[in-house]
Structure 1
């Protein structure tokens, strides 16, 4: 029988309406207001009752189904699922959206690399690789065979202050997200380990933690990143094992941690025997500041990739392990996937050794710098946080705007932005703020027009909005 009495008040939940409805469903099921086996109203019926679009209800139902809360049966409807344990991931890492069917939208949610000749460079590299194929391509790849590529990564990282570093300190991964998982697998122990991270953080951290059966606890941040006193209090309270940080380019707030703060964080990690995961996948063009890996080489795992500087399609990343832990990192990778696929590893080695990767990175950074200047010119009169070399900015909204309302209004005018709610942990609170990407793949005239639209909306907040 369809449960028509359940009518949640979505105003009780911050953020986009589809996420608000997902949370309302989750709470109603867990507290028993919606019993297992209850049939939910149709998408259109619930949309009518809640005064939202059918698309909003459809997205919420889809998310709740992915979490195992609902079960959808073709021809019968959507039901509250039985309370049985569900194995594996329960939510998509990213909510994909097919913009080919919505070509009028300009997507400023995630940085997109500009086309600076990657296709030509990859084609030339693959031609060189193809001319030298031999019987080794018939066998499994090996960690030993990746030694030249690990040495090339050492050269690639020469613009970073990482402390003592050799090819033996490096483990290669299938992108930065895979790097996070590798570190978690190396370091976490026990039935319910705890990971500490910034209270506004890259969503992939909590998804990787869920796979590792770990709990993520947010630690308060300020204009320099994580607050040492808050970190120490969390260490005393939770007995955590790993600290995940983005000191160079905090995602999403674009802040940079100073040297004194880094040193204080490293000392607290030593005091409480925390392993540090230093995420530098989003990174400034170059840095002369000592990394956490340089300050605490005995406990810091430095994760990076080529996704944000050369091509996301490569799915190639690396972990600079703590001193003496490189073999442990590579053994963990070997147990997971033997080694990188030869087409990927050989292509990346050629790009690095030929200098093509470095040239592509230089061109990408130049294009991002030009577009970042356009963002600052268009939105700089507002409370904008940014760094030279970063492909995103952080914008606390003017008084009168709520993040969810602004995102819906911007989408109605053809611009997609990402609000702070998407970076908040499950029990955290998000400010009314946006992360706006410097999207290099969008034609420049459309990019500039989208910025003009955002500037116009920001300057005209709803006069009747309570804040």
Structure 2
């Protein structure tokens, strides 16, 4: 690591000095003046050079660290993040997209589940046509806090058969632009203070940490075992770091496919009460009904249950549902209104028709049936490989055999025309990635083409490169 004498000019900057310094840090990384790995001046030295207080510099360093621009090493100093690189003048700081669909007809994309068309396009076209015939003055008005009541009442159908269904009303629901937007709304509603802390599983859906970063929160990882988040690890992290929100995927942990048992769920809820944590319960993959109580049932006073239509009906509709804790529905809807005023009227009209006609549940089950058949193909093809899965779930977790590294396997698979996700994409910046990959079901490609892609992966698994370190 090398040092830098970097000292930006802040005299012409407007606003608080610490924000001016944060902007200068961003620009320094963007232009390449601050290279990855470079050690920045100490807080006191930079404060002296700039003629500001040490507290001003410390606060700017803290914000830039939370954004991922900087890394702080105890006893060694503050460094430009090794994940940073020179950016173009219009290139965003958040470089890795949550979704990156491939338009190459020669590639089979197994990074995220691709929905089969089991009648969605026809059902959506019909619902759109019906909605168009009833256009009225309501399309000239803002959605408002209560004008989506009709859609929220219809959306209760989505929870039929789950333990949560008899305990919630339309007043508990917040309608969002998909599950990721729902997670962000909950964080906006619950995070407070200069340095909020979000606790996540050590292997977790990347959207959790992206939402936390957008809300200027520090993310702390919690160890997992075969049932998911370990209660004792969560308790220890809360005592060490504090925390305001814990993010959990109890039914279908992403990416490991783990399912949390009843005793574990109750233990997590008790620790959340002990440390006054809000819980984000991610149910966007809507695994088949397990009969286990959701965290919204176990801890209704603090659990935010997030789900969406994206994995079973339509990702393009961008429709999600947050079940707020008891008495918090209005607060959640107010946060959503401050963010985007509410969902567009065409979306709520179309989705309401899907729910009330019964089409939503029919399409959901039909799509899950197709994904289940694809899943069966994958499990049978992998044979004795170390693969974790759940019936009805649209992805598997493959631990690679001796001789393979996850990043190398992903590159070789891409060379074979198959895209998948390495474990590296699910760990925090300072976390340790296991030697594994996540493989999603592609319901949107012909079955034979999907089978060929899986056979290519099997062939790779059986022929690891002999010169890799083990």
Counterparts of 2:181 and 2:129 in 1: how far apart (Å)? 28
The aligned counterpart of 1:341 is 344
The aligned counterpart of 1:434 is 437
Q: Alignment partner of 2:316: what SS? A: helix
Question: How far did residue 97 of structure 1 move?
Answer: 5.3
Which deviates further from its counterpart, 102-111 or 114-123? Answer: 102-111
Correspondence list, 1:401-440, <5 A: 401-440=404-443
Given that 1:29 and 1:69 are in contact with CA atoms closer than 8 Å, whether structure 2 keeps it comes out as no
Q: Alignment partner of 2:467: what SS? A: coil
The answer to whether the aligner puts 1:275 opposite 2:278 as a matched pair is yes
Which deviates further from its counterpart, 308-317 or 161-170? Answer: 161-170
Counterparts of 2:421 and 2:219 in 1: how far apart (Å)? 22
The aligned counterpart of 2:56 is none
The answer to whether the aligner puts 1:450 opposite 2:453 as a matched pair is yes
The aligned counterpart of 2:36 is 28
> TM-score normalized by structure 1?
0.82
The aligned counterpart of 1:378 is 381
The aligned counterpart of 2:149 is 147
Q: Alignment partner of 2:219: what SS? A: strand
Question: How far did residue 29 of structure 1 move?
Answer: 4.9
Q: Deviations for 1:233-262, whole angstroms, at most 9, x for unmatched residues?
A: 101001000000000000000110000100
Q: Alignment partner of 1:434: what SS? A: strand
Question: How far did residue 72 of structure 1 move?
Answer: 3.6
Q: Alignment partner of 2:369: what SS? A: helix
The aligned counterpart of 1:19 is none
Given that 2:227 and 2:259 are in contact with CA atoms closer than 8 Å, whether structure 1 keeps it comes out as yes
Given that 2:184 and 2:211 are in contact with CA atoms closer than 8 Å, whether structure 1 keeps it comes out as yes
Counterparts of 1:453 and 1:285 in 2: how far apart (Å)? 29
Which deviates further from its counterpart, 108-117 or 157-166? Answer: 157-166
The aligned counterpart of 2:299 is 296
The aligned counterpart of 1:359 is 362
The aligned counterpart of 1:134 is 136
Aligned partner (choices 314, 317, 320) of residue 317 of structure 1: 320
The aligned counterpart of 1:46 is none
Counterparts of 1:124 and 1:393 in 2: how far apart (Å)? 34
Change (3 A) 1:243 1:330: same
Given that 1:106 and 1:416 are in contact with CA atoms closer than 8 Å, whether structure 2 keeps it comes out as yes
The answer to whether the aligner puts 1:156 opposite 2:172 as a matched pair is no
Given that 1:174 and 1:315 are in contact with CA atoms closer than 8 Å, whether structure 2 keeps it comes out as yes
Q: Deviations for 1:14-47, whole angstroms, at most 9, x for unmatched residues?
A: xxxxxxxx9x9987354369xxxxxxxxxxxxxx
Change (3 A) 1:72 1:339: closer
Counterparts of 2:328 and 2:89 in 1: how far apart (Å)? 49
Counterparts of 1:122 and 1:26 in 2: how far apart (Å)? 50
> TM-score normalized by structure 2?
0.81
Q: How many residue pairs were aligned?
A: 400
Question: How far did residue 160 of structure 1 move?
Answer: 1.7
Aligned partner (choices 221, 239, 263) of residue 266 of structure 2: 263
The answer to whether the aligner puts 1:70 opposite 2:86 as a matched pair is yes
Aligned partner (choices 251, 255, 270) of residue 254 of structure 2: 251
Counterparts of 1:158 and 1:95 in 2: how far apart (Å)? 29
The aligned counterpart of 1:201 is 204
Question: How far did residue 71 of structure 1 move?
Answer: 4.1
Counterparts of 1:461 and 1:211 in 2: how far apart (Å)? 40
The aligned counterpart of 1:188 is 191
Question: How far did residue 273 of structure 1 move?
Answer: 0.6
CA RMSD between the two structures: 2.4
Change (3 A) 1:240 1:430: same
Aligned partner (choices 214, 218, 242) of residue 245 of structure 2: 242
Given that 2:101 and 2:109 are in contact with CA atoms closer than 8 Å, whether structure 1 keeps it comes out as no
Q: Alignment partner of 1:447: what SS? A: helix
Q: Alignment partner of 1:197: what SS? A: strand
Question: How far did residue 152 of structure 1 move?
Answer: 1.6
Counterparts of 1:338 and 1:98 in 2: how far apart (Å)? 29
